[in-house]
Amino acid sequence: SQTIHQWPATLVQPVGSPLSLECTVEGTSNPNLYWYRQAAGRGLQLLFYSVGIGQISSEVPQNLSASRPQDRQFILSSKKLLLSDSGFYLCAWRGTGRETQYFGPGTRLLVL
């Protein structure tokens, strides 16, 4: 069966520090991968998605970047965090040709 992992689960970082969040998927090949951000009590904002290794589509111009160095690995990064980067970050995957997305447990980021 397929599983999706995210780490860390919680992160507290100072403003101006770098960021690296990792997402990995097991049990499937060539998934579509997604990074979302969710503000408290709000819906999901799609940040990036990837249809294959090295292929990244950016949805919202901002302080973040994404990379997909391996088929089942998706990384969200920042060189310098802003206060506004605080939030709940969710990774998701979707099988090729399928319609449902499957979400990881999320990473809660607090920038102070």
Partner 1 sequence: SQQGEEDPQALSIQEGENATMNCSYKTSINNLQWYRQNSGRGLVHLILIRSNEREKHSGRLRVTLDTSKKSSSLLITASRAADTASYFCATPIQGAQKLVFGQGTRLTINP
What span, in angstroms and rounded, lies between the C-alpha atoms of 6 and 14?
21
Nearest distance from C-beta of residue 100 to partner 1, angstroms? 5
Q: Is 104 in the site for partner 1 (CB under 8 A)?
A: yes
CA–CA dist 66, 20 (Å, integer): 9
Of 35-43, 61-69, 70-78, 79-87: span binding partner 1 (CB under 8 A): 35-43
- Nearest CB to partner 1, comparing residues 51 and 73: 51
Residue 92 sits in the site that holds partner 1 (CB under 8 A): yes
For partner 1, the binding residues (CB under 8 A) are 32, 34, 41-44, 46, 49, 51, 59, 88, 90, 92, 99-106, 108
